[in-house]
Structure 1
Amino acid sequence: MKNIREKRLPSLGEAILPILTMIGLMVYVFAFAKKDGESVYDAAHLPLICGIVVAVLVGMLSGRSFKEMLEGMVDRISATLDAILILLTVGLLVSSFMISGTIPAIIYYGLDLLSPRLFLPVGCLITALVGLACGSSWTATATIGIAFMTIGQGLGINPAITAGMVVSGAYIGDKFSPLSDTTNLAAGVAKTGLFDHVTAMVSTTGPVFIISLILYSLLGLRANVTNYDPQVAEAIKLALASHFNLNPLVLLPILLIILVCVLRIEGLGGVMLTVFVGIIFSLIFQEKRSLAEIFAILHYGPDLVTGNDFVDKALAKGGMENQMWTINLILLAVAFGGALERAGVIERLFAKLKDKIQSVGGLVLATMATSIFCDITMCDQFLGIGVPAPLYEDKYDELGLARNMLSRTLEDAGTLWAVMFPWTACGAYQMRTLGVSPLAFFPFAFVNLLNPIYALFTSYLKRNIFWADGSYTNLWGKTTMKKMAKAPEKSRAFAISQLTKLRKEKKAPQVS
């Protein structure tokens, strides 16, 4: 007779072992893996693989087979394949926007708008536009962000304040962009539509952006303008103008991205459309290239040299090949989350917490707390998004909430606070790029700092809530019918039935 092992939840010690493995190896990699002062290895990939191995062993000790553990990882990866395909094409888009002159024009005209008093709010807006155009907070900080750090020093502004402004703008653009990796990942793991998720993100990040611009304006009034050196900005503008046709028409592809969002064109189709337009604009307004040259740029990224260090660093972005580092990390991060879930680790650590949740505010708080816990302990924003999603998705259905409410909450905390900690991949990257510790700049990264607080506060007031039937409760408490967010059919049917029940019990608002 075949011997069948009984499944059980791992003990608390077993449950935290994969996480401790991850933390220990992350600390080693980012703090101690150095030779002659230089990092020998500074990526999160191998620590993730080691964490996966330990999680699989814990699952097998708890009665799961290796096949079951593998299936858990594959299931989580399958849920993110749409996002991964979009990420591949985002690399194409950034390259096409570079050679079309679109991103160079944004930098050029943005710098033209700068003045000492308006440096912080205008800088935040410009960084947000660059982040929106390329769909990456990392690219925005590594391009225009580096330039702003130098300009800020010339203005006599505290580098921590400038870095906080740059990070705020970069993440605003990232969150509003359908091209962002985390935006696509959040929609994918929550099993909702990409533009449903972007719409939900605007409901929290939009008001916080306005508040942040006001705060930056107030800080800007105190700037020491006696040290202002306009030559840095002028040198960047001169390098751009001498190598690109900066006719304002090259900014039109940005309007196309906005149109794609408004029309809710499917993510992959929308990205490919903008890639094609970027290529056409490059042929019309910039230099003529052969098909082979265009293919090489789209695949490997542009090879543009102007002689200005800031500009050259800004333009050395894009290409499908350059997306593979991020995609590899996402695959491993999501697989780690799937292994933890299938091993019973997540249930052991968080099941009791989930059972106690009875309100929308409580659920938002629990989701955010779990996301931030994953950021701190697993050192990566992808895990801050990917791990909590399967843990709480049924609870969102139970409370009659839309799946884009889940995806929004994952990003409100899991993405925006991941940069707060110096040992996370995001925090370490921004610290290396901007030269300021996250512990110093985060109090001034108003968008990142305030976004989860705003989202949590409004949810506890029973405001700013997306419901499963497509209704939305606004900031004034009025509930009106909007577009129904995408969700798995069975899950949505259950969520709507729960919402109907809650409304009959007067525990959910009626549609006006």
Structure 2
Amino acid sequence: MTATERGERAIRDPSVADAVIPLVALVVLIGGSLALFGLDALDGPIQVALVLCAMIAALVVLKNGHRWEDVQAAGQRAVSSITSAIFILLAVGALIGTWNLSGTIPTLVYYGIQVLSPTWYYAATALICGIIAMSIGSSWTTAGTIGVGLVGIAAMLGISPGITAGAVISGAYLGDKLSPLSETTVLTAQLVKVNVYEHIKRQAWTSVPAFVIGFVLFLLIGLFWGPAATDVGDTGSELNALGDIYWITPLNLLPLLLLVVLSVRKTPASLALMAAALFAGALGVFTQYPVVRDFVADPGLNPVRAAITAVWQAMATGFSMDSGIADIDQLLSRGGMDSMLLTLWLIIGAVTFGTLLEEFGLIGRLIDPMIRAAKGTGRLFLTVFATAFGLNVVAGDQYIALVMPAKVYRAEFAKRGLAPTNLSRLTADSGTVTSPLVPWNSCGAFMGAVLGVPTLVYLPFCFFNIASPLLSVVYGFTGFRIEKVEPAGSGPAGSGQAGSGPTDSGPTDSGSTDGEPAAT
């Protein structure tokens, strides 16, 4: 065991027991919260468990000689790493509130009920979300906008919101992985030092078959196990109610169009979402003024003050409706920045815990033996998957689950003569795609919050997210679509470096020299 001196304190390398103790605490506390509170555990108990796990990890770090100031600095870096996610979450909360106020979501539901059939609804949902996510490059934006409407339509049609949420997430993550506008796609290519378009081409080898599998399963569920169109309850009263409450017009979809345009123009997600939320609020004042006036419920306010109050309140605490029809009220009474606070609490606890494990070497202490034990290509692929998925579970953040395996395994892939595109595809399949399957992961918490479906309910139906990493691992064991280069150090100077050989397509788009994004 090595030791370095910092002042008068000797810093010790973590032992295997040091690394295992926080993970055992995580299993016990998360399992205990789920056993005691069930699905309600996400309303606070799991957040408490994650904070306690972070404190246990901090105690281990202190025991090894680090100062409390080091722990605080790591916590600050953890929170700063999710600043973008915090603002996106708050913006989505505001957007859902104003889109209900302005009639954008009700209009999507109104038209969707009349167009989409229950027998092929799940498959159509996955396809629609896949196309939109590929166009705008964001699974979060897709789920938080069109996904919310599609889950609402499902509730109106009397079909499963859980299966619909699984279809939304399947499509959203397909588009996210295959879009050059996606920040996680670009980040993965940067980390492994491959051209982003070469990465997307290789990504399609697992993503397209995985989506086809999911699409077929959604079709089969709709055809054989879902309700037939004649079995679905009469939605006439809901449609009439929406038509009576709102002025249903294509103009209500202008906020969605604005969001798509801003996303295609690569406007930062939080700014695009907030702009679409504000635009919807302003539009709703003119197109849905009776709704605005009823929402404020203060006849003494003049029109200007009533409009400002309504939009502000919808962004802050969400929109609410009392139409007398339960399905309508449940669909529309949502949103607001404050609706995301539980999710933010969850993410902060999870990412702080994960950052302590990563920065102080606790995760690395467990990964090194795994690398040495992975003798063949198949076992190496399985180890990368286990690492990335495990980090999604214990670190609670997809970026940690992407960055760390890419850094740790890059040299090993080069040493074994495996092209870096193999690693970029595998880390994306294992880290990005599985992140919404973990309730306390930032992605799982986000999807559960915006779609209104608990993570453990939609998880079995995220067919794409399950099939994609499995196909990647199968490719490793079978050798299918595994590209080889000259092993590092086996040829002339520089010839065996990662990224050399036929799959090297030049520098990454970011121009980064060390594999890290300039700004993410």
Per the TM superposition, whether the score is higher than 0.5 is: yes
The aligned runs of 1:318-337 (5 Å cut-off) are 318-337=335-354
SS at match of 2:235: helix
1:145 to 2:145 alignment = no
CA separation in 1, counterparts of 2:270 and 2:229?
A: 47
CA separation in 1, counterparts of 2:287 and 2:112?
A: 20
CA separation in 2, counterparts of 1:330 and 1:41?
A: 13
Closer, same or farther in 2 for the Cα pair 1:282/1:38, shift >3 Å? closer
1:81 to 2:83 alignment = yes
Q: Which residue of 1 aligns with 2:386?
A: 369
Q: How far apart are 1:189 and its partner, in Å?
A: 11
Q: How far apart are 1:337 and its partner, in Å?
A: 0.9
CA separation in 2, counterparts of 1:57 and 1:343?
A: 12
1:167 to 2:166 alignment = yes
**Cα pair 2:30 2:46 within 8 Å, conserved:** yes
Q: How far apart are 1:85 and its partner, in Å?
A: 2.4
CA separation in 2, counterparts of 1:464 and 1:298?
A: 50
CA separation in 1, counterparts of 2:6 and 2:40?
A: 55
CA separation in 2, counterparts of 1:108 and 1:248?
A: 11
CA separation in 1, counterparts of 2:144 and 2:254?
A: 23
Deviations 1:179-223 (A, max 9, x none): xxxx8899899999xxx89x9699565664454333323443435
Q: Which residue of 2 aligns with 1:415?
A: 435
Q: Which residue of 1 aligns with 2:488?
A: none
Larger radius of gyration: 2
Q: Which residue of 2 aligns with 1:506?
A: none
Closer, same or farther in 2 for the Cα pair 1:273/1:358, shift >3 Å? farther
Q: How far apart are 1:82 and its partner, in Å?
A: 2.5
**Cα pair 2:103 2:246 within 8 Å, conserved:** yes
**Cα pair 1:113 1:122 within 8 Å, conserved:** no
Q: Which residue of 1 aligns with 2:370?
A: 353
Q: 1:15 aligns with which of 19, 22, 28?
A: 19
SS at match of 1:44: helix
Q: How far apart are 1:21 and its partner, in Å?
A: 1.5
1:392 to 2:409 alignment = no
Q: 2:463 aligns with which of 446, 455, 470?
A: 446
Q: Which moved more, 1:356-365 or 1:79-88?
A: 356-365
CA separation in 1, counterparts of 2:84 and 2:445?
A: 23
CA separation in 2, counterparts of 1:427 and 1:286?
A: 29
CA separation in 2, counterparts of 1:464 and 1:314?
A: 49
Closer, same or farther in 2 for the Cα pair 1:394/1:358, shift >3 Å? farther
CA separation in 1, counterparts of 2:375 and 2:99?
A: 47
Q: Which amino acid aligns with 1:122?
A: A
Q: Which moved more, 1:320-329 or 1:141-150?
A: 141-150
CA separation in 1, counterparts of 2:127 and 2:111?
A: 12
Q: Which moved more, 1:66-75 or 1:285-294?
A: 285-294
Q: 1:252 aligns with which of 251, 254, 257?
A: 254
Q: Which residue of 2 aligns with 1:241?
A: 243
SS at match of 2:313: helix
CA separation in 2, counterparts of 1:411 and 1:200?
A: 15
Q: Which amino acid aligns with 1:320?
A: M
**Cα pair 1:84 1:327 within 8 Å, conserved:** yes
Q: 2:359 aligns with which of 337, 342, 357?
A: 342
1:296 to 2:320 alignment = no
Q: For structure 1, which runs of at least 5 residues remain unmatched after alignment? A: 154-158, 466-476, 495-512
Q: Which residue of 1 aligns with 2:495?
A: none
TM-score, normalized by length of structure 2?
A: 0.70
Closer, same or farther in 2 for the Cα pair 1:487/1:215, shift >3 Å? farther
SS at match of 1:6: strand
TM-score, normalized by length of structure 1?
A: 0.71
RMSD over aligned CA atoms reads: 4.8
Give identity over the alignment, percent: 20
Q: How many residues in Structure 1 have an aligned counterpart in Structure 2?
A: 456
Closer, same or farther in 2 for the Cα pair 1:133/1:310, shift >3 Å? farther
Deviations 1:355-376 (A, max 9, x none): 6789998776544312332455
Q: Which amino acid aligns with 1:388?
A: A
Q: Which residue of 1 aligns with 2:283?
A: 281
Q: For structure 2, which runs of at least 5 residues remain unmatched after alignment? A: 293-305, 415-419, 485-500
**Cα pair 1:88 1:320 within 8 Å, conserved:** yes
Q: How far apart are 1:231 and its partner, in Å?
A: 3.3
SS at match of 1:303: coil
Q: Which moved more, 1:142-151 or 1:236-245?
A: 142-151
Q: 1:29 aligns with which of 9, 33, 36?
A: 33
Q: Which residue of 2 aligns with 1:265?
A: 267
SS at match of 1:246: coil
CA separation in 1, counterparts of 2:351 and 2:19?
A: 18
SS at match of 2:283: helix
CA separation in 1, counterparts of 2:97 and 2:483?
A: 37
CA separation in 1, counterparts of 2:6 and 2:468?
A: 54
CA separation in 1, counterparts of 2:350 and 2:45?
A: 12
Q: Which residue of 1 aligns with 2:298?
A: none
The aligned runs of 1:402-481 (5 Å cut-off) are 408-409=428-429, 411-418=431-438, 438=457, 444-456=461-473, 461-462=480-481
Q: Which residue of 2 aligns with 1:222?
A: 224
CA separation in 2, counterparts of 1:223 and 1:32?
A: 32
Q: How far apart are 1:52 and its partner, in Å?
A: 1.0
Closer, same or farther in 2 for the Cα pair 1:105/1:386, shift >3 Å? same
The aligned runs of 1:169-188 (5 Å cut-off) are 169-173=168-172, 176=175
CA separation in 2, counterparts of 1:334 and 1:279?
A: 33
**Cα pair 2:388 2:401 within 8 Å, conserved:** yes
Q: How far apart are 1:101 and its partner, in Å?
A: 1.6
**Cα pair 2:174 2:464 within 8 Å, conserved:** no
CA separation in 2, counterparts of 1:405 and 1:351?
A: 21
Closer, same or farther in 2 for the Cα pair 1:2/1:152, shift >3 Å? closer
Q: Which amino acid aligns with 1:167?
A: G
Deviations 1:54-88 (A, max 9, x none): 10111111222222222222223222222322322
Q: Which residue of 1 aligns with 2:324?
A: 307
CA separation in 2, counterparts of 1:98 and 1:133?
A: 21
Closer, same or farther in 2 for the Cα pair 1:286/1:346, shift >3 Å? same
**Cα pair 2:510 2:517 within 8 Å, conserved:** no
Q: How far apart are 1:127 and its partner, in Å?
A: 7.5
Q: Which amino acid aligns with 1:50?
A: L
Q: How far apart are 1:454 and its partner, in Å?
A: 4.1
Q: Which amino acid aligns with 1:414?
A: T
Q: 2:112 aligns with which of 92, 110, 113?
A: 110
Q: 1:6 aligns with which of 7, 10, 25?
A: 10
